[in-house]
């Protein structure tokens, strides 16, 4: 499998009291499909995976299976956690639900001390879903696992038969190029840092997994199209818009504010869970005005929206 497309890293929806709200998933799926998104990455960092119980994550799998079938979406399930047995259970469930791929990041409490240990960890998870492509999820800013991804691919190639590549959420473009060239360039490395899509595509990326694809799909699709036709001036212009949008959202706490923005555009995914924070009503209104001043309705979505 090659994720040569934009894969939306979806939010996990909650009620106002923080309880899981699986009934909101269908509206998420319908909106993304209408915006031209074909693949979703569920229960990842944007999905607050580490704030979910085992039962809640499995409920998200069940719910997304139904929503994806209804709206013709392809699902990649993130299975990473600090508990290997839980990760293996998620991988088995992903295969049972008919998803198109799985991904897992490294444990972040007891961390793998070497590439060899990381390969062993990933192999145990991937073996539980042998019919699905497996992507290691490299996100050292959150896991604090800093291992060379080219060496990981070289070591894992002979050990993980269903290894497809790496979800590369790492700003090190030198490391990205090395990983792209590992094993003759056979592996797929979808990019995961939305603020740096231009740099990634200049280094050979052909797809990405990102959170901003939820609320600015048109912007990101236009940006990638400019990269592919080698229109550098337009790509840089759109990347600058993306960076400004992300900075605006992050000023009041990125994930909680991004979820509030989803509600503004008519897709209520509720608040973020503790320990993440959420913006005040005044901050949400200020955010919305700032995005309007930036021209959000013109470049973010394929259909204009009014504030909800």
- CA dist 308 and 291 (Å) reads 14
Q: Which residues contact 167 (CB under 8 A, 6 or more apart)?
A: 41, 103, 135, 136, 137, 138, 139, 189, 190, 192, 209
Find the catalytic residue in 88, 167, 259, 264. 167
Residue indicated by tokens 């934009």: 6
Question: How far, in Å, are 5, 125, 204, 289 from residue 95 at the CA level?
Answer: 22, 12, 30, 43
Answer yes or no: 176 catalytic: no
| Cβ 61 vs Cβ 94: under 8 Å | yes
Burial 225-262 (b: 16+ CB within 10 A, else e): ebbeeeeeeebeebbebbeebbebbeebbbbbbbbbbb
245 prior amide bond cis, ω within 30: no
Of the chain, the end-to-end C-alpha distance in Å amounts to 38
User: How many angstroms separate the CA atoms of 192 and 78, rounded?
Assistant: 14
Q: Which of 90, 135, 136, 137 is catalytic?
A: 137
User: Minimal CA–CA distance to 10: which of 305, 266, 212, 260?
Assistant: 212
Q: Which residue has the tokens 């400019």?
A: 226
Pairing of the two strands 39-42 and 208-210: unpaired
Three-state DSSP at 9 gives strand
CA distance 120 to 114: 10
137 a catalytic residue: yes
Q: Which residues are catalytic?
A: 137, 167
């Amino acid at each position: 499998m090659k994720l040569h497309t934009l894969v939306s890293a979806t939010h996990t929806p909650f009620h106002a009291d923080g309880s899981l709200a699986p009934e909101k998933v269908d509206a998420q799926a319908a909106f993304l499909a209408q915006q031209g998104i074909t693949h979703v990455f569920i229960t990842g960092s944007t999905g607050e995976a580490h704030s979910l119980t085992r039962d809640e994550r499995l409920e998200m799998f069940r719910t997304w299976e139904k929503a994806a079938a209804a709206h013709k979406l392809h699902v990649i399930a993130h299975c990473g956690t600090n508990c290997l047995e839980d990760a293996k259970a998620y991988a088995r469930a992903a295969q049972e639900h008919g998803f198109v791929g799985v991904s897992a990041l490294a444990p972040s409490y007891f961390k793998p001390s070497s590439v060899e240990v990381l390969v062993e960890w990933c192999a145990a998870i991937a073996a539980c879903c042998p019919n699905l492509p497996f992507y290691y999820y490299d996100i050292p800013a959150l896991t604090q696992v800093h291992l060379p991804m080219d060496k990981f691919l070289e070591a894992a190639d002979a050990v993980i038969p269903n290894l497809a590549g790496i979800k590369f959420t790492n700003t090190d473009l030198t490391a990205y190029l090395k990983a792209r060239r590992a094993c003759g360039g056979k592996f797929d490395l979808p990019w995961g840092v939305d603020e740096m899509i231009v740099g990634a595509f200049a280094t050979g990326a052909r797809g990405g997994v990102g959170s901003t694809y939820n609320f600015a799909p048109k912007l990101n699709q236009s940006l990638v199209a400019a990269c592919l036709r080698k229109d550098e001036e337009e790509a840089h212009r759109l990347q600058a818009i993306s960076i400004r949008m992300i900075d605006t959202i992050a000023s009041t706490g990125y994930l909680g504010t991004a979820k509030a923005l989803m509600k503004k555009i008519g897709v209520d995914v509720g608040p973020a869970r503790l320990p993440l924070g959420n913006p005040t009503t005044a901050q949400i209104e200020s955010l919305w005005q700032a995005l309007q001043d930036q021209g959000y309705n013109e470049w973010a979505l394929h259909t204009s929206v009014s504030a909800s």
